[in-house]
Amino acid sequence: MAYKAESSNTKKRKRRNLRNLLWSIGLLFLLIASGFLLYWAYNSDSDMVRSLFGYESLTQPTTPPTRTPTVSPTPTPSPTPQPVNGTIIIDPGHGGSDVGCEAEDGTKEKDVTLQIAEALRDKLEDMEYAVFLTREDDHYVSQSERAKLVTDKSADLLISLHINSYSDTSVQGMEVLYAEDDNAKLLSKLILNDLIKQTGSVDRGVKEDTSIWLLTNAEAPSCCILMGFMTNDTDRTNLLNFVFRTEIVDGIAKGIDLYINRK
Ligand SMILES: [Zn+2]
């Protein structure tokens, strides 16, 4: 009986141990399973999983990250080409050793023609003309070099600037010379007309003169503007006056513009 009782107790103890072991195995299995479940859920991108577990996956979506596009340096825009109404060659008479006419006070034709040419260039450039000078400073330029610039630039016009002189110092006023060309004659008339309007100078008219080499050889309508007499006190004083020079420039520019836009 004692054996039986002992044997019965042993059986019970064994059964209890077995039950405990099974519980332990079951618990361990549950722990491992829930571990796997958590691991899978944690690494999953599924929306369902995210909604179930209420977290945002740390794994980034496979879509590539948005990058700030590499901005290539913007090329400097080339300046918008200005509309060009025409190409004008301005020829400041004389230069260098060729002084032109000279007043008793030392005023030299070559200096006055260059200064007025520069002002006329600025004015015409403001009016959107392409302008080239046969000389930009005080040096000698041959007549053939001056004519060549007209050809090289395919110029529409040549405007040569000079100052008159005469033995009779009372003679004064402005005149414009041209050579054997109707267009040059029209150009001369339009320029002189506005020159007289602007300056109020004495109008000595337009004159045909075939003796001036540049007028007969330049490959564009050409004229020679005689802006006054260096030998006349009134003209000379005016030619050295800033306001009067501005009026000369305005008159010539207006005449050129009328000629270019005459059609
Ligand atoms: Zn001259």
CA of 211 to the centre of ligand 1 (A): 13
CA of 258 to the centre of ligand 1 (A): 25
19 three-state secondary structure: helix
Task: Residue 263: count other Cβ atoms within 10 Å of its Cβ.
Answer: 3
Task: Residue 186: count other Cβ atoms within 10 Å of its Cβ.
Answer: 18
191 vs 11, residue with greater confidence: 191
Q: What tens digit of pLDDT does each residue of 142-187 get?
A: 999 999 999 999 999 999 999 999 999 999 999 999 998 999 999 9
For residue 22, name the pLDDT band (cuts at 50, 70, 90): confident
Best CA proximity match to 185, nearest among 245, 261, 96, 259? 259
Most confident range, picked from 12-21, 38-47, 142-151: 142-151
CA of 248 to the centre of ligand 1 (A): 17
Report d(CA 124, CA 130) in Å as an integer. Answer: 8
Over 90: is that where the pLDDT of 37 sits? no
CA of 219 to the centre of ligand 1 (A): 21
Q: Which string of DSSP letters, residue by residue, matches 122-188?
A: HHHHHTT-EEEES-SSS----HHHHHHHHHHTT-SEEEEEEEE--SSTT---EEEEE-S-HHHHHHH
Mean pLDDT of the chain: 84
For residue 1, name the pLDDT band (cuts at 50, 70, 90): very low
CA distances for 220 relative to 45, 136, 158, 180, angstroms? 82, 21, 6, 12
Over 90: is that where the pLDDT of 15 sits? no
Best CA proximity match to 45, nearest among 57, 63, 62? 57
| End-to-end CA gap in the chain | 144
Report d(CA 137, CA 231) in Å as an integer. Answer: 24
CA of 100 to the centre of ligand 1 (A): 5
CA of 161 to the centre of ligand 1 (A): 7
CA of 259 to the centre of ligand 1 (A): 24
CA distances for 25 relative to 13, 30, 71, 207, 247, angstroms? 18, 8, 63, 128, 115
Over 50: is that where the pLDDT of 57 sits? no
pLDDT the model gives residue 21: 72
147 vs 16, residue with greater confidence: 147
CA of 261 to the centre of ligand 1 (A): 29
Q: What tens digit of pLDDT does each residue of 100-120 get?
A: 999 999 999 999 999 999 999
98 three-state secondary structure: strand
Over 90: is that where the pLDDT of 19 sits? no
Over 90: is that where the pLDDT of 96 sits? yes
pLDDT the model gives residue 18: 74
